[in-house]
Structure 1
Amino acid sequence: MTPVRPEFLPDPELSREEMETLQYDVADAARWTDDFDFDPRDVSLESAASLTGDRPLVAGVDQAFLDDRAVSVVVLMRGGDVVERAHAVTDLSIPYVPGLLSFREGGPIVAAFEELSADPDLVVFDGSGRIHYRQAGLATHLGVVFDVPSVGVAKNLLCGRPREDAEGRPEGWRTDILADDTVENAESGDRIGHAYQSRQYDSSPIINPLYVSPGHRVSVPTATDLVSRLCGGYKLPEPTRRADAYADETKAEYA
């Protein structure tokens, strides 16, 4: 899988000002409306043996770290079955800076995608999409680079504000994440994602919600609907949960 829009590749050698300017350009190029060839209802965790017709290939992306190297992995699933895994181990060029994650981790992830033989219909990233200071988080940035429908699933809220208090909500609950003065080039109150309670216990410990946002070619409501169909009783969507496990497995091999 190769980049479709190489002019948007995240270059860690850019200055901070140049990085932020590129993110504005990425956000301008992103489309936060549904633009894909599959039926969202066909995204499921059924076994491939029970599936009929062409079901979408869904990729999960995650990373682990070895000192100054990134172990980037992609796990490709059809239904509940893994059909391909790919990884790359690459050097990290810059430290983590909030809001500039794609410039630290984007290149390593691109390297892992280039090892993938099949093109996914949907990519789920462990990171933000439109819920980002410049509406260009990791899922948006790389979704635009590959021009692939993408969704960001973060464990913490980077910016914006929930419409309602998200603490201790029941499984399946969601509320809008609204743009505020921390989100640039957005009207205050614009809906940029959801807090989504994918899993919850009736007693302690309370599980915190996920923060789901569209990356590229997916709308806010559809992004959360897709994630809800992929969680399968776990907090994380199955493609990124499998990617997390594969990243740890690969890291152990290299360590």
Structure 2
Amino acid sequence: MESLQREIADSAVFDDEFDFDPTAVQSPADSSQQQLTAPASDTDSDGSAPSDAPLAAGVDQAFLDERAISAVVVLQAGEVVERTHAVTELSIPYIPGLLAFREGDPIVAALETLDCEPDLLCFDGSGRIHYRQAGLATHLGVVFDTPSVGIAKNLLCGTPRESVDGRPAGWRTPIAADDAVDCADGTLIGHAYQSRQYESSGRHINPLYVSPGHRVAAETTVDFVAALCNGYKLPEPTRLADSYADEVKSKLL
């Protein structure tokens, strides 16, 4: 499995390689946070999302017994245009660093039911911030050859350039490879990004750990996540996918 991950990392492109306007990646406007918004002329006459805006798909999962509920929600200029899911059996136990082998097949099953073809995949998991530079977002990004982003709540490996404690909303710092990562020390593998923060100094929200999966550079990756957050900690595509997975799970109980 580890050797396959190294092959996947070798196949991954950690630079910008996409054919859409990166500033058009956005969530609905929210007054509590700055967003990358398209000009009014880029909106269709009926007020709907422009037809050429990129499709950003969020992928997340819920679990029930030994089944995975893989949910996908696709947004275009902040509007949901499709959502789908698949319920599949899990065959591999959870092993840190090998998450893609447990959750990859269920996610593939869900993505293959989509009618649309996403321009950007956003995963609840790591991309290049991984021991072998091949987290879930890298693995699936390479499989589908689609630009992809990893958004993790915890840091798997690597070292932040600065302390991440108590940072204000919008703050970011690079994550450099360390001895745990299978590449040269100091290589930029992602960012810590503070998407939201309490105003009170007595409470703190931890940052997200954002990294390129495939065909997106590290700096662009964190720009996409910043643009897709809508006053919440998580980007809108993965936040909605998380809610949809829980919705499907509740119907199966």
Which 10-residue stretch deviates more, 75-84 or 145-154?
75-84
Unpaired segments ≥5 residues, structure 2: 30-42
Within the candidate set 22, 27, 38, 1:40 is matched to 22
Q: Percent identity?
A: 67
Does residue 92 of structure 2 align to residue 94 of structure 1? yes
* 1:199 aligns to 2:196 (yes or no): yes
Name the counterpart of 1:144: 142
1:170-202 Cα offsets, whole Å, 9 max, x none, are 100000000000001x11111100000000012
Runs of 4+ in 1 over 3 A off after TM superposition: 50-53
Task: Report 1:38-187 matches (<5 A).
Answer: 38-46=20-28, 49=47, 51-52=49-50, 54-184=52-182, 186-187=183-184
Q: Report the Cα distance in structure 2 between the residues aligned to 1:51 and 1:75, rounded to whole angstroms.
A: 16
Give the root-mean-square deviation of aligned CA atoms: 1.1
Per the TM alignment, residue 53 of structure 1 is displaced from its structure 2 partner at its CA by 5.4
Partner in structure 1 of residue 12 of structure 2? 30
Whether the 8 Å CA contact 2:8–2:142 is kept in 1: the answer is yes
Secondary structure in structure 1 of the residue aligned to 2:180:
coil
How many angstroms does 1:50 deviate by? 5.2
CA distance in 2, matches of 1:101, 1:253: 26
Q: Which deviates the most, 226-235 or 51-60?
A: 51-60
Compare 47-56 and 35-44 and name the one that shifted more.
47-56
Instruction: State the AA in 1 paired with 2:77.
Output: G
What is the distance in 2 between the residues matched to 1:158 and 1:190?
Answer: 15
The separation in 2 between residues aligned to 1:50 and 1:225, in whole angstroms, is 24
TM-score by length of 2: 0.91
Q: Is the alpha carbon distance of 1:237 and 1:63 closer, same or farther for their aligned partners in structure 2, counting shifts above 3 Å? A: same
Taking structure 1 as the reference length, the TM-score comes to: 0.91
Distance 2:138 2:71 in 1: 18
Q: Helix, strand or coil for the counterpart of 1:62? A: strand
Q: Once the 2 structures are TM-superposed, how far is the Cα of residue 109 of structure 1 from its aligned partner?
A: 0.3
Show structure 1 runs of 5+ residues with no match.
1-18
Instruction: Tell me which residue corresponds to 2:187.
Output: 190
